[in-house]
Amino acid sequence: MAELIILKLGGSVITDKSGECRVDKERISSLAKEIASRKNIIPIIIHGAGSCGHPEAKEHHLDKGLDTTNKAGIFITHHAVRRLNDAVVNALRASGVESVGIHPLDACTAKNGRLISFECGPIKLLLKHGIVPVMHGDVVMDEEKGVCIVSGDQLVSYLAVNLHAERIGLATDVPGVLKDGNVIPAINKKTISNLEINESGNTDVTGGMRGKINELLMLAEMGIESNIFHVSRTDDFLDGRDHGGTIVTKKTTL
């Protein structure tokens, strides 16, 4: 039986996150080929924004909510990440994976930065027909703040619960969660409190590695484990092998 897998492609791996929006087409194409070559998985792809969304969201302070000065930021930020989404969908389709972009701005509502609804009906039907949905961190309308930024990481946890994903993996530009330069093989709510997690070195309005871990720990508390690994180990994750990264878990004996 094919496994339902959520794979998040970090913005740090599909764009050059150090400057203005630059899509890494070569990386995206090679990831698309890896996904295409696996016949035993049903992938749900989520990607981050990297340099195609974070700088725009920061410039228009969308993470702080909507005011009279930043309405244009909604279009500008959404447009940037939507173009990145097109690049991911195009690469998957060029590799033979029929896929389609789903945009949270159109499908979601948030309250105080947290998703309160996501219309999953179309995603379930796409999956049923063997078409891969490709979602992304996005600007989302918010009942309290007017607008907020929902990270791809928040989408990972929301969809993992609502679509009952069997395995969850997040490919990043680091080999896992690091302590003194070494990968920590597993983390839970307790062990993370002793760890120094810094924000991303690049522009990031969703909390970088700290935001990612917080999101995945909430998921772990619901009994759903997830995996953070270097993008070069994506094939290992897809095949269910050791990926050399970090497992985020509820287990207390690590």
Ligand X SMILES: C=C(C)CCOP(=O)(O)O
Task: Give the footprint of ligand ATP on this chain (CB under 6 A).
Answer: 10-13, 48-50, 152, 172-174, 177-178, 197-198, 200-201, 204, 206, 208-209, 212
- 70 contact choice in ligand X, ligand ATP, none (CB below 5 to 8 Å, kind-dependent): none
Q: Does 43 bind ligand X (CB under 6 A)?
A: no
User: Which of the stretches 35-43, 49-57, 94-102, 123-131 binds ligand X when contact is defined by CB under 6 A?
Assistant: 49-57
Instruction: Provide the Cα torsion 49, 212, 16, 14; round to 10°.
Output: -70
Smallest CA-to-CA distance from 243 within 172, 195, 193 is with 172
Q: CB under 6 A: which stretch of 46-54, 111-119, 159-167, 168-176 binds ligand X?
A: 46-54
Q: Give every CB contact of residue 48 below 8 A, 6+ residues apart in sequence.
A: 8, 9, 10, 11, 12, 14, 136, 137, 151, 152, 153
Give dist(CA 162, CA 120) in Å, integer: 8
- State which residue, 131 or 186, has the beta carbon closest to ligand ATP: 186
Instruction: Compute the least distance from the CB of residue 219 to ligand X, in Å.
Output: 15
Indicate which of ligand ATP, ligand X, none lies near residue 138 (CB less than 5 to 8 Å, by partner kind). Answer: ligand X
Sheet of strand 114-118, all strands in order from the earlier edge strand to the far edge: 114-118, 108-111, 138-142, 146-150
Residue 173 marked ligand-binding: yes
Do 52 and 23 contact (CB within 8 A), yes or no?
yes
CA distances from 235 to 6, 50, 81, 107 (A): 14, 22, 25, 30
Tokens at 223, concatenated:
């009994």
Of 7 and 49, which has the nearer Cβ to ligand X? 49
Residue 46 · residue 9 · CB < 8 Å: yes
* Shortest spacing between CB 197 and ligand X, in angstroms: 15
57 binds, among ligand X, ligand ATP, none (CB under 5 to 8 A by kind): ligand X
200 lies in the binding site for ligand X (CB under 6 A): no
Stretch that binds ligand X, among 27-35, 110-118, 145-153, 239-247 (CB under 6 A): 145-153
Residues of each annotated binding site for substrate: 49-50, 54, 152
Residues of each annotated binding site for ATP: 8-12, 173, 208, 212
